[in-house]
Chains A and B, each alone.
Chain A
């Protein structure tokens, strides 16, 4: 298929915005880019002509933490529904967590996920293999065959590992196979509760989880990464002190990277005050001082990237007393409007957001950077940064409508997402 995009601004690999006259895509590859003032090749006969006036053309986002819910949880989502949602969010590559049913701790499950995502072909799916068998935190899973089957890295998802000796062996064995280890830092014995432990939890009488449950684990994991030489990627940091520890570790040259879930950058535990279960997340959304530290960590590069931590749920999963509801938000489709919100109101520059979710995420996965340059795969999205619209539940392609943004006015809208040269999402199709 031949696609021609006309008149927009694109983000160059150097991180500058540049007006272009047209971008030509042929057979999955960006064949030519003509910047403003250059004479375009008019012999190019496009099958599809896209006008990007007033829009950004961005490299496709890489999201390191997505629950696709398949196999096993069809009531919450499927690979087809959630990769479509990813495309609608401007994501062209994602890592799916191993928390499916069966858990992705074997070649067979990895292959099933790969088959289903090829069939859907809305974006590239890179499975994370289970760090331990059944995610029980006891026995190493077969890293070599998981890698062979296509797992990009290993993850314990949001499950604790039984003890430090097992964690140490996981690191050593992962290093043996040159696999990165994604860990949600949790000290299980301090982790009883449903929200952040602070004055809000005290006021409303919900059991709080102290930041210590994370920061103690971060400290232990960094030491184990140092000793083993494995690449440790800390998923979903939520506490200010974790950022400090990562800073020190990086200064010491330890192979550690970190991400933050986007809702931890936008919300605080005050949102839980009326028992609003849409804000029930794990790790819990913490205090304003934590939120500000996470934002600062991103600005300074201590935190490498942002993820959606996308967790679609059926309505019933959130319709119970707060503590009985299931944690997580459906947010992969709304990453870019949230990025505009962060840019406009929380001093996180939009370019920094894009660099995090493209270049930095690619570095963590050790895959090719998604840049808009001639000869690269055409993975990109057309985003209107100034469009103001109001979100209705039925606008979301994800099966999970568990977003606090429903009913809100948003700024910024994805118009088109192109994955490997074909249109994976178009806003016109959803109307």
Chain B
């Protein structure tokens, strides 16, 4: 059997495509590495030489400001050279195929692609087609996965709660279209929380959602009962047009997180949101900016997590390359 696409023969990361298939030990290693890198951001000179001499290409087929910026900062803090390519305005719109475009970028001796794409599986496809030695980090693909977002959320939870055992976590909102939710659910279950709940109307839940390892609630107040961690998801405006929801007002009334509803959770529950926030659609400003909110911690942790996975994937690629060279000689 083939080893998993994102792991080396010795089970270390060489790409970071999805949480699926990663062990608790490996996820914990990512969190520990990120923890040790947080300190870099607090230094006068915010740099470590882990990726010195390496070229990182941010390949964004979908618009993004925050994710792309934190990846860029993370790469620069690791001393890499960074190239940002926004494909909306670039080659594929001129008819160049994705494969041809990758060949060209590889020819520029790139060492890592950070990829965001609107299609599920795009990062897998790219990891399968690049030459060995080039690492792929998934910055979000379709509805499939957003593993760095999930890991920065795990880091935030660990910082605030100390551990995962015994925690009850609720994810609220558009699960159907959410790559963030899929990665979070996988990470939470791997790290051993007690329960993951999803809270949404049935129109925003995928078929057989329970198979992901969650319990389903249609009612927000019931779902929040005894919860330690609340994760709000962003509601895309265009969902109103597809007959998935009647109106923003009714959604906010039923699923918007208000101070009143927050009282249903444990008193020390934390509130998270992957951003950007739609104030007054999925969350009330008083909650987003309130004492239980850790939304800004998430952003800070995002840089550390991205530094961690980029350096780990790069060293996994080096390990693979050395092994290939050894076998050749």
Chain A contact residues, CB within 8 Å of chain B: 197-199, 201-208, 210, 274-275, 316, 319-324
Contacts and interface: CB of A to CB of B under 8 A. Distances in A.
B209 interface: yes
A397 B5 CA distance: 31
B175 to A, nearest CB: 9
A130 to B, nearest CB: 30
Contacts of B122: 321
Contact of A208 (B5, B119, B207): B207
Contacts of A321: 98, 117, 119-122, 125, 141-142
Nearest to A323: B119
B119 A324 contact: yes
Interface string B139-161: 00111110000000000000000
B208 A322 contact: no
A423 B160 CA distance: 76
B184 to A, nearest CB: 13
28 contacts: A201-B207, A202-B208, A202-B211, A203-B20, A203-B182, A203-B212, A204-B121, A205-B120, A205-B142, A205-B143, A205-B144, A205-B182, A206-B121, A206-B144, A274-B124, A275-B120, A319-B97, A319-B125, A319-B129, A320-B98, A320-B99, A320-B125, A322-B119, A322-B120, A322-B121, A323-B119, A323-B120, A324-B119
Contacts of B206: 201-202, 208
A268 B129 CA distance: 25
B324 to A, nearest CB: 21
B179 interface: yes
Contacts of A322: 119-121, 125
> Nearest 6 A-B pairs (CB), nearest first?
A205-B143, A275-B121, A205-B144, A199-B211, A321-B119, A202-B206
Contacts of B211: 199, 202-203
Nearest to B124: A275
A322 to B, nearest CB: 4
Interface of B: 5, 20, 97-99, 117, 119-122, 124-125, 129, 141-145, 179, 182, 206-209, 211-212
Contacts of A199: 207-208, 211
Contact of B144 (A204, A208, A210, A320): A204
A324 B143 CA distance: 14
B208 A206 contact: no
Contacts of A197: 207
B207 A275 contact: no
A274 to B, nearest CB: 7
Nearest to B126: A321
A320 B122 CA distance: 8
B119 A274 contact: no
A206 B207 contact: no
Given A319-B99, A321-B125, A202 B209 contact: yes
B171 to A, nearest CB: 14
Contacts of A316: 97, 99
A47 B23 CA distance: 67
A85 to B, nearest CB: 26
Given A204-B120, A206-B143, A320 B182 contact: no
A324 B142 CA distance: 12
A197 B176 CA distance: 12
A233 to B, nearest CB: 30
A320 B99 CA distance: 8
Given A206-B144, A322-B119, 11 more contacts: A199-B207, A205-B142, A208-B207, A275-B125, A320-B97, A321-B119, A321-B121, A321-B122, A321-B125, A322-B120, A323-B142
Contacts of B143: 205-207
B302 to A, nearest CB: 21
Contacts of B97: 316, 319-320
Nearest to B175: A202
A202 B120 CA distance: 11
B270 to A, nearest CB: 26
A286 to B, nearest CB: 12
